[in-house]
Every structure is written in structure tokens, then in C-alpha cells.
Amino acid sequence: MTEEQTSKTMTRRGAVGAVATGAVVGVAAGLAGGLAIGTPASPPPPPALPAGTRRFVGKVVLITGGTSGIGRAAALAFASEGAKVAFCGRRQNLGHEVEHEIRATGGEAMYVRADVLIEGDVAGFVDATVRRYGRLDVAFNNAGMTIERPVHEYSAAEWDAVIHTNLRGVFFAMKHEIPAMLATGGGNIVVTSSSNAIATRERRSAYSASKRGLIGLVQAAALDYASQGIRVNALVPGTTDTNLVRGGAGMEHVPDAIWRVAANEWAKSHVPGLGRLATPAEIAQFALVLASDAHPYMTGAALVIDGGKTAHAG
């Protein structure tokens, strides 16, 4: 399957679970017909940190899937705390926009076009990072995608595309990141899994299998390298309000106000607890927590940040 063909059937993302698009589109149709839905919740304030927090000064951070969504928010956040950030993605225009945004605020960043499906791209990305900045301290392996089908309707190519992007892509990244970290005495690896690794829904078998597989990969790798100074942990986010989620819902061209109402309405029934989608900045800040040196005893963990989505008993 070519990239052009796959772009018509799959949604790549900086790591969020697939949205139940039918519910959201249904709300949009109701709004168009005059249905009273109610006022959406106000967007939450950005995560608060102590003024002048600079946990990553002198650190080199590598991010896969860094051109949009959670990955983009993480690139900006790491850079704002002093990191030298190298990030990859396939969409060059978005990559250069993020690179420019970081540099315009005095940060240091390098965008490299790379596809995690291609081991040579991943190896080249890691090599370029080490050549540019001299070392690698933190890796945030965040690139992912989904295709939604009942199990028997997946083609082998579609199934492989999900598993290879989400699971094999992280293997490629870790395979090349780890030697770079070992060369300088260790580092931290954070992997984006999903709440679908814990509790999933229909039509997500490939996505859920890949994201659950990442938990096993993280646990085993944590044991492989604990004695060599590398910690490996999984970030387990719930559904996050990104442009790709909005596009997957078929609402990329509707006014923002309608999107907010639709997303809020979906979250009321799908995110028991906080009842809203996460923001990319909220998830990114949790990635920074896991990547920091503040918790040296934590490795092999899978930490959930999903607004209560998977706590629901029913």
C-alpha cells in the first residue's frame, strides 16, 4: 500500500485513541438542524508550572511524531524548558512551522523528515540528532496511527500498517536510540501508548493490540537496561483534542464553536469523570514529567492520564 493510498484510509496521530466519529458527526447534524445541545465546557487553563521551570537545560530530546498534536505540544514544552529538541514527522510544512516557532522564542530545535515505518529513516534521524547535538538524553516515541474496522474486514496491509507504525516503529526507534544513550551513560525513554490498551471499543482491534503490545515492550526494555542507566516508561493518554481527531470526526472545516459543542457532547458519554477531552498540552506536560530526572526509581511503568475514562466500571 502506497503512502497516497494509505492516507485515504488511515489517520496518523501524535498518539491519541480513535474517536467514535459517528457520535460527533451526529451531534453536528443535530446542531445544523437546530437541536439544542447545551453549552460546551470551557477549555481548561494550560498546565501550571512554577515560574522559570527548566528541567531540561543541557538535555537533548528526540521526538517521533512531533509535527502536530501531542508531539508538537511536547516539542514546544521541552524547548521552553531548555532542551535541544530534534523531532521528526512526514509533513515537512508542519515540521518547519514547529521548528520556526521554537526558534522564534529562543529555543533550539531541528526538524528531520522521517517515517517510522522505514528503519533507515529512523536510524538516520537518530544519527542526525547525535551529530548535531553530540548526545541523546531523552526520547519521546510518540508517532502512531489507527484504522478502524471489524476484525474480519481488515486487509493484511491495513493491519500491518497499524501494527508496524505503532509497535514496530517504536522498536525501530528504541533500537537506534538506546546505543546513543548507552554511549553517554544512560537516558530516559517515554513511549505513547493509549487508554485503548486498557479498555477499548469495537472496531479498534489493530490499534488496541498495538498499544497493548507497547506496554509489554516498555516493561521488557526497562528490565533490559535498568542496570545501564536507561529508564523506559509508557504514557497512557485518553482521547485528546487534536486537529487529527477533529479531522477523523469529519469536522475539520466546521466552525470551532460547533466542534467544541460536538466534542463536549461526545466526551459526556465517553469520558466518565472529567467529561471532556484532554488538551495536547496536558498530555505533553505529563510526558515531560516521565522524561525528567525527578523520579529516578520509576521504570517499566504505564501511567494513565485519561480524565477517568478507564475508571468507569460499567
**Residues tagged active-site:** 207
CB 112 within 8 A of CB 125: yes
Give residue 289's identity as a one-letter amino acid code: V
d(CA 136, CA 126): 8
CB proximity list for 270: less than 8 A, separation 6 or greater: 20, 23, 239, 309
Burial annotation 166-179 (CB, 10 A radius, 16+ → b, else e): bbbbbbbbbebbbe
CB 221 within 8 A of CB 232: yes
Q: What single DSSP character describes residue 168?
A: I
What count of Cα atoms within 13 Å lies in the side-chain half-sphere of residue 201? 15
d(CA 112, CA 134): 16
Question: What cell numbers appear for 246 in the block?
Answer: 477533529
CB proximity list for 310: less than 8 A, separation 6 or greater: 195, 198, 199, 238, 304
Among candidate residues 276, 243, 209, the one with its CA nearest the CA of residue 68: 243
